[in-house]
Structure 1
Amino acid sequence: MAAHQKGALENRAWIVFFDESGISLLPQVRRTYAPRGRTPVLGHRLSNWKRASMAAAVGYHAADPGRGARLCFDLRPGTYDTTALIDVLTRLKDFYTGERVVLIWDGLPAHRSRAMRDWLAEQDWLTVERLPAYAPELNPVEMLWASLKNAELANLAGEYLADTAHAARAGITRICNDDQLAWSFLAHTGLTIHPRPTTNQPTKTSVGVLTTEVEYSPDWA
């Protein structure tokens, strides 16, 4: 990734990591405390298989760590296809208005479709690079998903998909309110953005922008 970093540094671009994940009414089972002899029981609606999808983009400025980290988040019912992802990237463009972006993501088929390639070819603000195959540990967004699933989504057995969606959005707010979490996600990957942030430079994460304002329609029931 050194060559990508050099180009981003020369262009004073943002290096933005992107990833998708899913949520449903099936609880994320995690270890928890309980009175001795009273094993916790999670009840969930096996008859409801509706799912929602989340996408997150965590950005770090290649030349000026003092500008902090940026987090964009998208949440919608169903799954992502090329059309939905282009909508997310269009909103990402609005968030980075006037900035250059190097977007780093995996090899999901929707990322490599002809429609996506045609759209990307028209974007002069955006350069796209692919993560190595089978290397999710290099994507800081994976740590963001882990943070959500070990906190707000842990052992959550909501009655409706909207309950799970609301918890996910609360988790994003928590992450945005912590000045260091976005940087810790990057540190966990072992990657560094040059120049590295120092202790006397502000590193506050920009307020998370929900790139899709979710209305809890019947699709979330």
Structure 2
Amino acid sequence: MNTRAWIVFLDESGVSLLPQIRRTYAPRGRTPLLRHRLNWKRASMAGALGYHSTDPERGARLCFHLKPGSYDTTALIKVLEQMKTFYRGEQVVLVWDGLSAHWSRAMRAWVAEQDWLTLERLPAYAPELNPVELLWSSLKKRELANLAGDHLADVADATEQGIHRINHNPQLPWSFLAHTGLTIHPAHPPNLRKDQ
């Protein structure tokens, strides 16, 4: 594994026009009502949270993608191409789950041609090890909570507001990582010189 790479966790999640019902406050005796059109249109989000393996001062980086429908190998390759630009060609170790599109023959062939990218697989049935799951939870509990939009654009706008909120709080992406129990340690602890 490259010791000077970005460690990037990627995950996908679905959203729809059906509201994410969450408990909320209202004046006593006035139960809040959500009115929506029972529209089943769906979109998919892909989020990538990156942490530098040797230089935490570079901060965490959040890369986000939203599209109608669901992700397949072709769509995920486009996301990875955008991620390459986002990370300016720096080395990336991508950590994701066992979704078939992540490990398809076409995906493995494409990755084999990329000198900037290495894939690592999360253990099966271990979403608690992916900090992006906490990103989805944060969005769905805040910006997407009780949102009864008429169009997918309403969901996209709310999601974009949430991404801006998370990007403007540099501690939040690190808290997502800390919640998983995983850590990123520099190759040389700050109190030791390399020549010792």
**TM-score in terms of structure 1 length:** 0.82
- Measured in 2, the distance between the counterparts of 1:179 and 1:121 equals 33
Matched, 1:44 2:16: no
Cα deviation for residue 129 of structure 1 reads 0.3
Q: How many residues align?
A: 188
Compute the displacement of 1:108 (Å). 0.6
Q: 3-state DSSP class of the match of 2:90?
A: coil
SS of match in other structure, 1:104:
strand
Query: Which runs of structure 1 show a deviation greater than 4 angstroms over 4 or more consecutive aligned residues?
Result: none
Which residue in 2 is equivalent to 1:152? 143
Hey, what's the Cα distance between the residues in 2 that align with 1:179 and 1:102?
A: 21
**Which whole-Å deviations, capped at 9, do the CAs of 1:77-128 have from their partners, x for residues lacking one?**
1111111000000010111123111000001111111111111111111000
Counterpart CA distance in 1 for 2:9 and 2:170 is 18
Query: Normalized against structure 2, the TM-score is what?
Result: 0.93
User: Which of residues 63, 69, 74 is equivalent to 2:54?
Assistant: 63
In structure 2, list runs of 5 or more residues that go unmatched: 190-196
SS at match of 1:58: strand
1:35 to 27, 38, 45: 27
1:13 aligns with 2:5: yes
Q: Does 1:122 align with 2:130?
A: no
Residue 192 of structure 2 is matched in structure 1 by: none
**Amino acid in the other structure paired with 2:82:** R
- For the residue of structure 2 that corresponds to 1:94, the secondary structure is helix
Overall identity of the aligned pairs, in %: 74
Q: CA deviation at 1:43?
A: 1.3
Q: Which amino acid aligns with 1:135?
A: A
How does 1:1-221 map onto structure 2 within 5 Å?
Answer: 7-9=1-3, 12-46=4-38, 48-195=39-186
Distance 1:31 1:8, change over 3 A: farther
RMSD between aligned residues:
1.4
Aligned residue number for residue 193 of structure 2: none
Partners of 1:79 and 1:45 in 2: CA distance: 21
**What residue is the counterpart of 1:203 in the other structure?**
none
Counterpart amino acid of residue 176 in structure 2: F
